[in-house]
């Protein structure tokens, strides 16, 4: 087990270094000069030379990459050309909103996946309706699903707000930046309720695709194991189908679902970036959408490295959880 954990951690570090190297060389071949982007077109040669020296751009390429790697490891992605602030400061401002939306979507996705898997495996009444609704929702493009949800639930029914994170002017802004958590810490149930009111529709839009993918994998594993010898033995002892699935079959089937969850989390973040544009959600999706048209490479690289690192770390954690759930994986 120790060797398995060490191998996964080393692989994670190697992938992160490779991703950082790719972003570094993309910045090197970018036609936009960071010095001119910071100083403007009317800067003198002396100012340009001084700024280039301050940024370390007059050093050998291997030294520049090493410094870039060290800075990225410490969360320093440079200064945004657009906002003139450190990219890490911008990310700290926009990330909590994206993280809150992604976590809420993940919780909903796991709940819907479990509902889909158990309802269809145990043939609950209405399972066909649940399956049809989830499959139709997951097959629609995210932007179309979001716009359709706004037309129905905001414009027609008036059940949800149109955009933003909160309609409360004096909502707490710390310590986490996530309104649901900060509202609980501040003892403000009105803030929590209002934040959930704004969260529910965009979170469901993001969650539908991953829910179906995870639910289908879990259902396939459940159906394959429900006729196994140990499941039949449990049934012979008088246990009901639900108890057999929960107490005996689920642990043996959770490995594939965990693997799919790790893959879907990465796709979920890409979906969040799209959904943020539809719902006017002030997260990193808005930040990178404003940075791309002006070729703000430090901001683009910062978001890419952050999301890439998140994806790699989550999949490493999923691998370790799979090994804990099924020790046979370590022996493979």
Could you say which residues of the chain have pLDDT below 50? none
Number of domains comprising the chain: 2
67 with 115, same domain? no
147 with 264, same domain? yes
SS3 79: strand
Q: Hey, which residues does 79 pair with through a beta bridge?
A: 86
CATH code for position 125 = 1.10.3720.10
Determine, yes or no, domain membership for 82. no
* Last residue in a domain, options 26, 43, 73: 73
307 with 267, same domain? yes
What's the half-sphere exposure (Cβ side, CA atoms, 13 Å) at 37?
A: 19
Report d(CA 100, CA 310) in Å as an integer: 14
At residue 57, the pLDDT reads 67
Cβ atoms within 10 Å of 265's Cβ, excluding its own: 20
Determine, yes or no, domain membership for 84. no
At residue 145, the pLDDT reads 83
57 with 106, same domain? no
Report d(CA 271, CA 275) in Å as an integer: 6
297 with 263, same domain? yes
Cis previous bond, 175, omega within 30 = yes
56 with 100, same domain? no
Q: Are 145 and 159 in contact (CB under 8 A)?
A: no
Q: Of 148, 150, 174, 168, which Cα lies nearest the Cα of 160? A: 150
Determine, yes or no, domain membership for 89. no
At residue 229, the pLDDT reads 62
Q: Are 197 and 160 in contact (CB under 8 A)?
A: yes
Report d(CA 197, CA 188) in Å as an integer: 14
Report d(CA 267, CA 262) in Å as an integer: 9
17 with 118, same domain? no
59 with 147, same domain? no
142 with 200, same domain? yes
170 with 313, same domain? yes
Report d(CA 155, CA 251) in Å as an integer: 44
Determine, yes or no, domain membership for 87. no
Determine, yes or no, domain membership for 88. no
Determine, yes or no, domain membership for 39. yes
State phi, psi for 171 to the nearest 5 degrees: -65, 145
* Last residue in a domain, options 10, 38, 73: 73
64 with 132, same domain? no
44 with 168, same domain? no
* Last residue in a domain, options 15, 43, 73: 73
Determine, yes or no, domain membership for 162. yes
Determine, yes or no, domain membership for 86. no
Domain that holds residue 32: 2-73
């Amino acid at each position: 087990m120790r060797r398995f954990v060490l191998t996964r951690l080393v692989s994670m570090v190697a992938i992160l270094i490779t991703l950082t190297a790719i972003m570094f060389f993309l910045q090197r071949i970018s036609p936009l000069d960071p010095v001119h982007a910071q100083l403007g077109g009317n800067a003198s040669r002396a100012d340009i030379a001084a700024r280039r020296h301050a940024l370390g751009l007059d050093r050998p390429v291997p030294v520049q990459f090493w410094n870039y790697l060290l800075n990225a490891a410490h969360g320093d992605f440079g200064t945004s050309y657009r906002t003139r602030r450190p990219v890490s400061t911008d990310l700290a401002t926009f990330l909590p909103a994206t993280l809150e939306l992604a976590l809420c979507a993940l919780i909903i996705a796991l709940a819907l996946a479990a509902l889909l898997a158990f309802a269809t495996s145990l043939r609950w009444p209405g399972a066909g309706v649940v399956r049809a609704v989830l499959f139709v929702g997951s097959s629609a493009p995210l932007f179309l699903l979001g716009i359709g949800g706004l037309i129905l639930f905001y414009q027609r029914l008036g059940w949800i707000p149109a955009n933003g994170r909160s309609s409360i002017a004096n909502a707490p802004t710390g310590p986490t930046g996530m309104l649901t958590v900060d509202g609980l810490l501040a003892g403000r149930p009105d803030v929590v309720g209002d934040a959930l009111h704004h969260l529910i529709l965009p979170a469901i839009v993001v969650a539908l695709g991953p829910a179906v993918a995870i639910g289908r994998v879990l259902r396939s594993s459940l159906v394959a194991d429900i006729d196994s010898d140990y499941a039949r033995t449990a049934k012979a002892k008088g246990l009901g189908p639900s108890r057999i699935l929960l107490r005996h079959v689920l642990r043996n089937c959770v490995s594939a679902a965990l693997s799919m969850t790790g893959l879907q989390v990465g796709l979920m973040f890409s979906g969040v970036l799209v959904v943020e544009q539809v719902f006017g959600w002030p997260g990193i999706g808005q930040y990178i959408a404003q940075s791309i048209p002006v070729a703000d490479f430090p901001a683009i690289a910062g978001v890419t490295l952050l999301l890439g690192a998140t994806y790699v770390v989550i999949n490493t954690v999923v691998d370790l959880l799979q090994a804990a759930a099924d020790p046979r994986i370590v022996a493979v």
